[in-house]
Structure 1
Amino acid sequence: MRQLLAALALTVLTAAPAQAQAPFWEYEWPNTNFEKTSITDWSEIMSGGPGKDGIPALTDPEFKPAAEETRFTQTEAVILLESDKGPARAYPLRYLMWHEIVNDRVDGQAVAVTYCPLCNSAMVFDRTVKGQELEFGVSGKLRNSDMVMYDRQTHSWWQQAIGTGIVGDLTGVELQTLPARMVGWAQFLKAHPDGLVMKQPAHARPYGANPYRSYDLAQRPFLYSGENPPHGIAPLARVVRVGDRAWPLERLAELGQLTEAGVTLQWTSGQASALEAGAVGEGRDVGSIRVLDGQGRDMAHDVLFAFAFHAFWPDGQWMLGGG
């Protein structure tokens, strides 16, 4: 954890607990409706260090043919978003590590590509809500170590891991989660040789470096005081979440493929952990996951840390095998 804190100091202020009273947040967020919220204990909300937009979300990124990209290692992680009408898109974690949200448009659909490094949660959402197109930013707040997003239209707060409004006028609204998955760079190129990759943003960041070095080898998550997962599962072990069920990644890596609870989960080697080594493309191979429904269609899922699953789905089902 000492290595992690030293790395975070390169880009953020020293993290500190937030005030537990809503009036404090009202002063900082005058346009947010704090009268409407699902939060019952304000001490759950903490500052991760940067303030509002201190981690700058991206909007309308530029892309280039993936075949022209030469800087990535074969196993460097990207978020793959496939399209029905156009080429597939790759959103490299080397960029999302520093921006966490990309507001994009694919086939005319407004989407938000999100990544929370502290939970390893990579989720893609439809950002049109009740006929209104939202643009998301990073609030600088954490809850259970997970990023709290906000939208610039209503200034409501959203919990990234569950895609749900937690403070403001849109409290309780659930974003539609779109099928997407993290894969290694060579895996993306093989499956989509004519695909597109997001260009490097025009920000002064050491893209390709991992500011959370050795994080997924730590004993405890950063700024998390909740319960550890049950069944002796390490807090920072990766699990594959489909709905309210979680499969340990280690189990899937041993089996390669399994079908349970009406879904098929496939594991293949070829994706580096972006949160281990000093460079995002040089971590150990944790493999890539694909989740299919009974008709062979890709399903929305997440590969996040076990502590985050337990925090947001405390009654969730752990798919451990053995009957």
Structure 2
Amino acid sequence: MNRRQFLSAAGVGATGCLCGCVGGEGSAPSGGGDTNASNAPREGFDATDAAGDPDPVGFANVSLPVPMDELNRGAPLDAIPAIVTPEFDDDWADVDATLDDGELVVGVELAGEARAYPLAVLNWHEIVNDEFDRPVLVTFCPLCGSAVVAERVVGGDTRTFGVSGYLWQSDLVMYDSESDSLWSQILATAIRGPLTGTQLDLLPSTTTSWGEWRDSRPETTVLLPPPLSDTVTGRVTRDYDRDPYLGYDTSSRVGIGYNDEVDDRLHPKTRVVGVAHGNAAVAYPLPVVSEASVVNDDVDGLPVVVAASTQGTLVAYVRRVDGETLTFEREPGADVLTAGGSRWDLHTGRAVDGAREGATLARANDRSPMFWFAWADFFPETEIHGE
């Protein structure tokens, strides 16, 4: 079993990514000192250590910068074209592809605005550079089944992110076009280049079905696929009715061959929501949570409530409200939790009536649910709830 050191100081989630499997060999940024503010397609960079790299620094228990020989090539630079000018609408009525209620989306709600990013698009593009009330980065790593959303601002400057074509610990490696630094998607941290050690500020997100997201947030809009949205390589298009990872989420296959050992306490593709706090990390598997109906737990002093919707959407919230720790129950057969004299919408964490009406639970997880192997790869000392 691969036992990497526990990344306690980072509060880091995990993932391993198939990013780049749809492309061939090619060049990508090496995380050197070259700066380029243009979003135009580039020829690629020499995959060698750059003289401008800073001295190694400690990030949690990871040494940075990550050596080039720990990065694995998955595709050429921008072969998976990140979206840089996203367009949205109420639905896909005018799109030459279908978006069924059961299709998975990454849901983001900021400053009273809700948007959905279908995996049918993210499987092909992996990164969306967006704007809410602030510049926002929406990412998805298909091999890990994980979404990470963050502010794309560093030192007051907005960054534009793309897919480098590299993998690190089977995770998507991004680059920002302004500094050509390389970034771990899961760590949301620059791992090579001028910005090494810089962390992005994470934002809450949910991986759920389009139907559930739309029903709980009727005013939502949804990302339109290219060519309606523009990418770093122009107005490309893909077959958005085809899943390029069909069958991967149920197989025992892990990544694209770079994971030598896998934590076998669970099936590698078991979906878990992970909570890391202080010096502890706990994974909550979907089957265990579904059977329990609702889980009230404590992660190194952080009181959490974990539940799964009737359609299998995992959520984790902090169950402390106005200084009081609540104990939640579940209304039978409904996506409704009860505690503190109120009923709470499982999908949004909002109290819909009673003494706490209007209150909203804070999310306990920094990253959306993901495959077990990915969480365990970055949190090898993680506990598994129910074991």
Higher percent of residues as helix: 1
Is the contact made by 1:128 and 1:134 (CA closer than 8 Å) also made in structure 2?
yes
Does residue 312 of structure 1 match 2:378? yes
Q: CA deviation at 1:298?
A: 3.1
Which residue does the alignment assign to 1:27? 46
Is the contact made by 1:238 and 1:305 (CA closer than 8 Å) also made in structure 2?
yes
Which residue does the alignment assign to 2:309? 268
Task: Give the secondary-structure state (helix, strand or coil) at the position aligned to 1:309.
Answer: helix
Does residue 45 of structure 1 match 2:82? no
Write the distance in 2 (CA, Å) between the matches of 1:290 and 1:132. Answer: 32
Write the distance in 2 (CA, Å) between the matches of 1:302 and 1:245. Answer: 14
Which residue does the alignment assign to 1:302? 368
Task: Give the secondary-structure state (helix, strand or coil) at the position aligned to 1:242.
Answer: strand
**Cα 1:67–1:153 shift into 2, 3 Å:** closer
**Cα 1:301–1:265 shift into 2, 3 Å:** farther
Structure 2 stretches lacking a partner, 5+ long: 1-19, 33-43, 57-63, 228-235, 322-360
TM-score, scaled relative to structure 2: 0.68
Which residue does the alignment assign to 1:226? 260
Which residue does the alignment assign to 2:106? 79
Deviation per residue, 1:131-184 (Å, 9 max, x gap): 121111100001121100111111111111121111112111221111110111
Is the contact made by 1:67 and 1:194 (CA closer than 8 Å) also made in structure 2?
no
Is the contact made by 2:48 and 2:68 (CA closer than 8 Å) also made in structure 1?
no
**Cα 1:200–1:32 shift into 2, 3 Å:** farther
Write the distance in 2 (CA, Å) between the matches of 1:33 and 1:310. Answer: 33
Q: Cα RMSD between the aligned structures?
A: 2.7
Does residue 150 of structure 1 match 2:175? yes
Q: CA deviation at 1:30?
A: 9.0
Q: CA deviation at 1:313?
A: 2.0
**Cα 1:39–1:305 shift into 2, 3 Å:** farther
Does residue 137 of structure 1 match 2:162? yes
Is the contact made by 1:144 and 1:226 (CA closer than 8 Å) also made in structure 2?
no
Is the contact made by 2:111 and 2:132 (CA closer than 8 Å) also made in structure 1?
no
Q: CA deviation at 1:253?
A: 2.1
**Cα 1:105–1:40 shift into 2, 3 Å:** closer
Q: CA deviation at 1:35?
A: 4.4
Write the distance in 1 (CA, Å) between the matches of 2:24 and 2:377. Answer: 25
Write the distance in 2 (CA, Å) between the matches of 1:106 and 1:147. Answer: 24
Which residue does the alignment assign to 1:56? 81
Is the contact made by 1:66 and 1:194 (CA closer than 8 Å) also made in structure 2?
no
Which residue does the alignment assign to 1:246? 283
Task: Give the secondary-structure state (helix, strand or coil) at the position aligned to 2:369.
Answer: strand
**Cα 1:41–1:84 shift into 2, 3 Å:** closer
1:183-202 matches, cutoff 5 A: 183-202=208-227
**Cα 1:184–1:40 shift into 2, 3 Å:** closer
Consecutive aligned runs of 4 or more in structure 1 exceeding 6 Å deviation: 29-32
Between structure 1 and structure 2, the one with the greater Rg is 2
**Cα 1:134–1:30 shift into 2, 3 Å:** farther
Residue number among 293, 300, 317 corresponding to 1:256 in the alignment:
293
Residue type at the aligned position of 1:78 = V
Residue type at the aligned position of 1:266 = A
Structure 1 stretches lacking a partner, 5+ long: 1-7, 271-286
Does residue 213 of structure 1 match 2:246? yes
Write the distance in 1 (CA, Å) between the matches of 2:214 and 2:240. Answer: 20
Is the contact made by 2:273 and 2:316 (CA closer than 8 Å) also made in structure 1?
no
Residue type at the aligned position of 2:245 = Y
Write the distance in 2 (CA, Å) between the matches of 1:256 and 1:29. Answer: 51
**Cα 1:69–1:233 shift into 2, 3 Å:** farther
**Cα 1:225–1:54 shift into 2, 3 Å:** same
Residue type at the aligned position of 1:92 = P
Is the contact made by 1:266 and 1:290 (CA closer than 8 Å) also made in structure 2?
yes
Q: CA deviation at 1:310?
A: 2.0
Task: Give the secondary-structure state (helix, strand or coil) at the position aligned to 1:88.
Answer: strand
Is the contact made by 1:62 and 1:198 (CA closer than 8 Å) also made in structure 2?
yes
Task: Give the secondary-structure state (helix, strand or coil) at the position aligned to 1:82.
Answer: strand
Task: Give the secondary-structure state (helix, strand or coil) at the position aligned to 1:308.
Answer: helix
Write the distance in 1 (CA, Å) between the matches of 2:126 and 2:144. Answer: 12
**Structure 1 residues 132-141 or 254-263, which shifts more?**
254-263
Residue type at the aligned position of 1:75 = G
Write the distance in 1 (CA, Å) between the matches of 2:115 and 2:66. Answer: 39
Write the distance in 2 (CA, Å) between the matches of 1:66 and 1:82. Answer: 17
Deviation per residue, 1:53-79 (Å, 9 max, x gap): 111001130111248578322210011
TM-score, scaled relative to structure 1: 0.80
Write the distance in 1 (CA, Å) between the matches of 2:50 and 2:160. Answer: 15
Does residue 102 of structure 1 match 2:128? yes
Q: How many positions carry a matched residue from both structures?
A: 287
Task: Give the secondary-structure state (helix, strand or coil) at the position aligned to 1:142.
Answer: strand
Residue type at the aligned position of 2:386 = G
The share of aligned pairs that are identical, in percent, is 33
